[in-house]
Structure formats: structure tokens, C-alpha cells
Structure 1
Amino acid sequence: MVVTAHMDADEVHAVLAALTDAGCRAWIGGGWGVDALVGHQTRTHRDLDLAIAAEQEAAALSALGRLGYVVETDWRPVRVEVAADGRGRVDLHPLTFDEAGDGHQAGLDGGSFRWPKGCFTTGTIAGRRVDCISVNQQLLFHSGYEPRDVDRADLAWLHRLAARPAPGDERRP
């Protein structure tokens, strides 16, 4: 399948609504996750990266299928990417949650990535509140590889956000 569209904010909200209607919770990562933390769109996006509970993966894929998305890359249990021509791509990252609320994602090498409970936060896309991944977790995920231009742009925003004083912090930048 050749997917020619970029993911726009309306499509992000359509995907999130379909997942919510199917009883699936999703946290936005990647470029759209950075934009959610910033509070506005900073660049165009090829896809929408979502962390979901592994036990909701089938329901999520079914919901996305109703929107016209079909599996394009299947590296389960690590990730599965679906695409819809004219709409874009959604990259699902299934997490298994432990009793403490930490998420664990399988790695391609047989290991796993830890998503600490505190990394799940909220942001804003096109004026709507969304669940997303924290600045620190995004910085962690942007390490360990040679960044592309879009990654460098995301990292610049993340570093700006990380340098901001926390709410209630009396220090001035």
C-alpha cells in the first residue's frame, strides 16, 4: 500500500475517538506527542505513535480497521503499524502494565522498554486535551540512534520544555 497523506490534527482526533469508542486508552508519543506537550503543531507528521495496553490491541486494530486502516508493518509484540491511503499511518506500541502501573514494551532484541507510571501525562492537540508521553520519556526515546531532521526538531522542542520551571517553582528562566 502506498500512503500519500500526512497525519493531520483532525485525523489524530478521529483515531483517538475511534479508540475511545472501542474502550481503548492510548497515549501519544513521537512527533505528535511532542506537539501535544508544546500545545500546538510544530511540523508535519508522517504517522501517529500510540502506546496502548497490550490486552486492548485487538480492539484497537478492529477500531482502526473500521476507519480504513490495514496492517502494513507487523512486528508484534513490539509494534504494529497500520495505514490508510489518504489518511496516514498509526504506529501502535503495545504495553503490558504491572501492578505498580509501569508499562513494559517488548523490544526487538528480546529485552523490554520500561514506561514508568509517571511518564503518562496530558497535552493539547488542536485545542483538545489528549493523553501523551512526558518530556523525560520522550527524551529517553529520542536517544541511542542517529537522529533525523524531524527528530532534531522534536529534540529542540523537548529541551525547551525540559528547561521550563515546574508550576509553582519560583526560579525564573
Structure 2
Amino acid sequence: MGTSTPDGVRTSQDDVLAVLRLADGAGARLWIDGGWGVDALLGTQTREHGDLDVAIESAHLPAFVAALTAASFGAVGEAGAAPWNFLVARPGGPVVDLHVIVRDADGNGVLGPPERDAVHPAASPAGRGTIGGRAVDCIAPEWVVRFHDAYPGDATDRADVHAICERFGLPVPAQYR
């Protein structure tokens, strides 16, 4: 069970840039994932986003959460929350979906207990993109497509996968054709 962003919430480009400044101030490296990660790779916002998905190493989490808390963010307390995946939000404002990873001996980012077998392969956070003219680290295009192909996608996923495949010359997975 994963986190669930509350209905009707929007996280704007300005919100994303503000969160990135908080991470900078906390010395926390983030990798943009999810819809904003797709838009970062494309270099433009393609749609509205309910939240900002970020991967963060566990060592950077306390400083980043402290910075978010100082900026009036608080835990959402959603049913699917876990220490390795949870939401923080400002009242009536943006939502950040935190994916907390621990690097293993091979450099893979392990999300949660090892028995969950949820891993960001070492090569996956090698993407670079832009949001609002700012360069950001994000999930690499081929891994965005692979991660999307691991679950049944909806219309938004289909649009994201097609856009990434077209921009980066990647094959479209069978379920998205």
C-alpha cells in the first residue's frame, strides 16, 4: 500500500522550486520522480500535479524534514504511510511525497525493508532535467519508462510514457501501445 495524495491538491512549479530551495538550505539532495520528474526530463510542465514525488537518501531525511517543518509542512498521516514513503504538506498547499532510500553495497537505492524488494537501481537516478529553468536531478528516462511499465497505467501514465519515449527515442512498452 502506498501513499495517497488528497484529492484536489495542486503542487505548482513555484511550490516545487520552493521545496528545492528548502532542500538546498538543508544540504539534502533530492531526485525528482513521478509526474514532475517526467516534466523535468521534458523541460516543461505538461499538466497539473497533485504532489511532488522525491527520492531522498535516509541520511538527508532529518535535515530536510526539519526544513519542511520550519516552512509549515507537516505529516499528512495517510493510511499508506511508512517510514520509507510518506506525505508532508502545508495546510491547503503543496504536497511532497517522500521516497526514502538507503544505498546498498551495489549503490542501489533500497526503499523500505529489503524483503519488500523495492529498489531504485543504481543507474536510475542518473537523469537531469529542468523545472522553471532550474537544473534538477531526476530519474533517468529509460527508468521512468521501466518503472511505469511495472504497474497497470492509466491515461496520465500513457501520456507520460509516450512523451518520454518520443523525446528520448525509447521503445513504447506493449501495455502503452
Q: Find 2:130's aligned residue among 98, 117, 124.
A: 124
Percent of residue pairs bearing the same amino acid type: 36
SS in structure 2 at match of 1:34: helix
Structure 1 residues 148, 118: CA separation in 2 closer, same or farther (over 3 Å shift)?
closer
Deviations 1:68-98 (A, max 9, x none): 2111136333301112233221001011113
Matched, 1:15 2:27: no
**CA apart distance, 1:143:** 1.9
SS in structure 2 at match of 1:75: coil
Superposition pairs for residues 37-56 of structure 1, below 5 Å?
37-56=41-60
Q: In the alignment, is the contact (CA less than 8 A) between 1:3 and 1:83 conserved in 2?
A: no
RMSD: 2.3
Which amino acid in 2 is paired with 1:111?
D
TM-score, normalised by the number of residues in structure 1: 0.83
Which amino acid in 2 is paired with 1:49?
D
SS in structure 1 at match of 2:149: coil
Superposition pairs for residues 1-173 of structure 1, below 5 Å?
4-72=8-76, 73=78, 75-106=81-112, 110-117=116-123, 119-163=125-169
Provide the C-alpha distance between the structure 2 equivalents of 1:88 and 1:107, rounded to a whole number of angstroms. 28
Provide the C-alpha distance between the structure 1 equivalents of 2:48 and 2:157, rounded to a whole number of angstroms. 12
**CA apart distance, 1:129:** 0.8
Provide the C-alpha distance between the structure 1 equivalents of 2:14 and 2:114, rounded to a whole number of angstroms. 32
Deviations 1:14-55 (A, max 9, x none): 001101101110000100000000011011000000000012
Segments of structure 1 that go 5 or more residues without pairing to the other structure are 165-173
Provide the C-alpha distance between the structure 2 equivalents of 1:14 and 1:3, rounded to a whole number of angstroms. 22
Provide the C-alpha distance between the structure 2 equivalents of 1:146 and 1:82, rounded to a whole number of angstroms. 26
Q: Which moved more, 1:4-13 or 1:25-34?
A: 4-13
Provide the C-alpha distance between the structure 2 equivalents of 1:133 and 1:148, rounded to a whole number of angstroms. 20
Question: Higher strand proportion, which one?
Answer: 1
SS in structure 2 at match of 1:142: helix
SS in structure 2 at match of 1:18: helix
Segments of structure 2 that go 5 or more residues without pairing to the other structure are 1-5, 171-177
Provide the C-alpha distance between the structure 2 equivalents of 1:160 and 1:78, rounded to a whole number of angstroms. 32
**CA apart distance, 1:114:** 3.1
Which amino acid in 2 is paired with 1:147?
G
Q: In the alignment, is the contact (CA less than 8 A) between 2:108 and 2:119 conserved in 1?
A: no
Q: Which moved more, 1:106-115 or 1:90-99?
A: 106-115
Structure 1 residues 107, 30: CA separation in 2 closer, same or farther (over 3 Å shift)?
farther
**CA apart distance, 1:107:** 6.4
Which residue of structure 1 aligns with residue 3 of structure 2?
none
TM-score, normalised by the number of residues in structure 2: 0.82
Q: Across the two proteins, how many residue pairs are aligned to each other?
A: 164
